[in-house]
């Protein structure tokens, strides 16, 4: 596999992961994650270890929140042998418990090529900021 096609494949995997949870199908994420995948929480304030734990976080979010807007940009992939590091900026507006929030930051994922498929093995988020979304008509949260 050429370096360009490997990069494209990693990006396609990341887009598929994001599309899957945005379509409210977090249980379908299993095929994208290594069984021992690790999520380090923003600020390195804890971690989730294993595919089931990571999927449970997506299930919780999808069950309790509704995404109104989602954007990502500045996707960057670095390849190192059979591993890839991918990061991107994101911004989203979501509603949880009747309150709207705007969240943004950078998502960082590490993938390993396993039998021709890119599997997520590690993830964290940094530069995370979240605040109440202002009501555009009133200017208040």
DSSP state of 95: E
Predicted confidence (pLDDT) at residue 138 exceeds the cutoff of 70 = no
pTM: 0.90
Predicted confidence (pLDDT) at residue 134 exceeds the cutoff of 90 = no
- The CATH number of the domain where 74 resides is what? 3.10.450.50
The pLDDT of residue 82: 94
Residue 137 lies in a domain: no
Residue 139 lies in a domain: no
Q: Is 115 helix (H, G, I), strand (E, B) or coil?
A: coil
Distance CA 17, CA 96 (A): 21
The pLDDT of residue 2: 86
Distance CA 8, CA 2 (A): 10
Give the residue from 91, 83, 107, 93 showing the smallest Cα distance to 34. Answer: 83
Residue 24 lies in a domain: yes
Average pLDDT over residues 104-127: 96
Could you tell me the pLDDT band of residue 140, with boundaries at 50, 70 and 90?
A: very low
Residue 141 lies in a domain: no
Residue 140 lies in a domain: no
Residue 107 lies in a domain: yes
Residue 138 lies in a domain: no
Asked if residues 92 and 67 have their Cβ atoms less than 8 Å apart, the reply is yes
Q: How many domains does the chain have?
A: 1
Residue 96 lies in a domain: yes
The pLDDT of residue 43: 81
Could you tell me the pLDDT band of residue 44, with boundaries at 50, 70 and 90?
A: confident
The residue range of the domain holding 8 is: 3-131
CB neighbour burial string for 87-126, b if at least 16 within 10 angstroms, e if fewer = bbebebbbeeeeebbbbebbbbbbbbbeeeebbbbbbbbe
């Amino acid at each position: 596999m050429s370096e360009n096609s490997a990069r494209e494949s990693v990006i396609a995997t990341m887009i598929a992961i994001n599309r899957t949870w945005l379509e409210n199908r977090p249980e379908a994420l299993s095929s994208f994650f290594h069984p021992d995948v690790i999520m380090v929480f923003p600020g390195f304030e804890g971690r989730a270890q294993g595919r089931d734990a990571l999927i449970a976080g997506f299930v919780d979010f999808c069950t309790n929140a509704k995404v109104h807007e989602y954007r990502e940009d500045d996707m960057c992939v670095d390849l190192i042998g059979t591993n890839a590091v991918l990061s991107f900026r994101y911004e989203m507006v979501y509603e949880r418990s009747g309150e709207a929030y705007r969240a943004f930051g950078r998502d960082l994922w590490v993938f390993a090529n396993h039998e021709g498929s890119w599997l997520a093995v590690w993830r964290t988020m940094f530069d995370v900021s979240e605040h109440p979304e202002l009501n555009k008509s009133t200017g208040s949260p």
